[in-house]
Amino acid sequence: MQFPSPWRKSRPSRMAADAQPCFRAGNGVDPSLLPFAPEDGFRAPAPDANGRLHVDDVVAAQKWQGESPLIVVVADDLAARGCSSLFGIADRDACVAVVSTFRLLDSDDNRLRERLSKVIAHEWMHLRGRGHCTAAGCLMHPVTTTAELDSRGHALCPRCRGRSSWKGMAVAAGIAVALFGGMDMTVNALQTKSRPFAWRAHGEAASVLYRGEEILRIPAGDANSPEGPVETAQTVSHRLNAMFVEIDPPPLVVETVGSSVRIAAGDDPLFVVTPMMAGEQDVVSFADCWATSLQPLLEGKGRVGESCPMCHIGRREQVRESVARPPRFWR
C-alpha cells in the first residue's frame, strides 16, 4: 500500500536512481526472516491504545535522511488513516516503507517468508514510484487478506514491466531470491509461472505450441521418428520451457548424424527432424529455419513487443556479473 496521492507526490522523491534498500528490524522480528542484514538504529514509537503502531509515527521516529530507501519491518500490527488493516505501507516522500509481520504469521515458516517477500517487494516498488495495478496476479495488485496475498505473484505483469526500471525489478527479484533461500527456489517458481511452451495431441499426431501458437507439428505414422509424436512433443516442450528460464540458454544447433538431421540444445539432442515434419521444405533448411526463429525467443524471453528482449539480451553481461558477485547487501 502507498500513502494517498497528496502525501506521496507533495515533493519529488530524493531516492537515488540506483538506490538499494536498507533494512531496520523492530522488536520481536527475527532478523533471519529479512532478505538482507538489518542495520542498527530502529526507533520504536509508542503504540496506540489497541497496541498498534501508527505508520506515520514509525516513519517519523526513524529520522531517515539517507538517499537509499529504508524498509522497516515490525512485529506489531499497523494503523494508518483510512485503513482498517494493512500488511505494509510506503511513504515515498520520506523514502521509508513500513512492513508488519503481524498479519502474515503462519505455522509454516516458508509461507511466512513468501508472504513477507511479496509485501516487501510490493512496498519497494511503491518507493520507486510504481502505483497499484488491476491485474490480479501482478506484484502491484492490492490485496487485503492473506488468501489474496498467497495467490498474488512475485513478478510484475507485462504492462508494469514495460513501465519499470530494470534496476528496480532486479532488486524486487533479489528480495524474493534472498527470502526464498536461494536461486534454485526462485528458478523453480519461474518455471511454475513461466511455461510458454506446451504440447497438444491431435489423434495420433501432436504439436508443440508457443503461447497457443503451433510452432512444430509432428505427424502420425512417421517411421523416421524414433519416438511417437506425443512423446516427442512432450520432450520438446519440456526442454524449451527449461531453456526459457535460463540466463544463457544453450544454442539450438542443427546436426547431421548419418542420414538423420536433428536439432540439439547445446550438446543435448532435442528431436530428430523428419521429412514428414518438413513437408515440402528440405529437411536441413526446415531445421535451420526452426532453430534460427526459436533462438532469439529463448534468449529474449519472448518476442519483441510481448516481453523485454532488449533487457535480457542487451544487459546479459550485467545479469551474469550480478549472479557471479552478489550485491553487498545480500546476506
For residue 115, what is the domain's CATH number? 3.40.390.10
Q: What is the pLDDT of residues 249-280, one digit of tens each?
A: 899 999 998 878 999 998 899 999 999 999 99
Q: 203 and 184 in one domain?
A: no
Domain count, the chain: 2
Q: Are residues 83 and 174 in the same domain?
A: yes
**Residue 285 and residue 180 in one domain:** no
> Which pLDDT value is given to residue 130?
87
Tell me, what DSSP letter sits at residue 18? Answer: T
Phi, psi of 152 (to 5 degrees): -80, 145
Contact (CB, 8 A) for 232 and 218: yes
Q: Is residue 320 part of a domain?
A: no
Tell me the pLDDT tens digit for each residue of 99-109.
Answer: 999 999 888 88
Q: Is 82 exposed, middle or buried (0-12, 13-18, 19+ CB in 10 A)?
A: exposed
**119 and 181 housed in the same domain:** yes
Positive or negative torsion for Cα 232, 237, 240, 241 = negative
Q: How far apart are CA 159 and CA 245, in angstroms?
A: 20
The C-alpha atoms of residue 247 and residue 21 are separated, in whole angstroms, by 25
Domain range for residue 35?
5-190
List the beta strands (DSSP E) in 135-187.
none
Residue type, 62: Q
Question: What DSSP character marks residue 80?
Answer: B
Closest Cα partner for 64 from 106, 93, 38, 107? 93
φ, ψ (nearest 5 deg) of residue 304: -60, 130
Tens of pLDDT, residue by residue over 150-162, are: 999 888 888 887 6
Give the pLDDT band (50/70/90) at residue 246: confident
**Pair (35, 142) in one structural domain:** yes
Domain contains 32: yes
Residues 283 and 185 in one domain: no
Q: What is the pLDDT of residues 1-24, one digit of tens each?
A: 554 433 333 344 555 555 678 899
Identify whether 204 is part of a domain. yes
Considering the domain architecture, whether residues 178 and 238 belong to the same structural domain is answered as no
* One-letter identity of residue 281: Q
On whether both 148 and 268 belong to a single domain, the answer is no
Query: Percent of the chain at pLDDT above 70?
Result: 76
The reply to whether 110 and 170 lie within a common domain is yes
Which region among 157-161, 181-185, 216-220, 223-227 has the lowest average model confidence (pLDDT)?
Answer: 181-185
Least confident of 78-92, 285-299, 300-314: 300-314
Whether 31 and 138 share a structural domain: yes
| Same domain for 237 and 176 | no
Asked if residue 269 is part of any domain, the answer here is yes
Q: Give dist(CA 18, CA 109) in Å, integer.
A: 32
Q: Report yes or no on whether pTM surpasses 0.95.
A: no
Q: Which of 66-75, 164-173, 260-269 has the lowest mean pLDDT?
A: 164-173
Confidence of residue 58 (pLDDT cuts 50, 70, 90): very high
Q: Of 137, 160, 190, which one is at a domain's C-terminal end?
A: 190
190 pLDDT higher than 70: no
- Grid cell 515440402 is found at 280
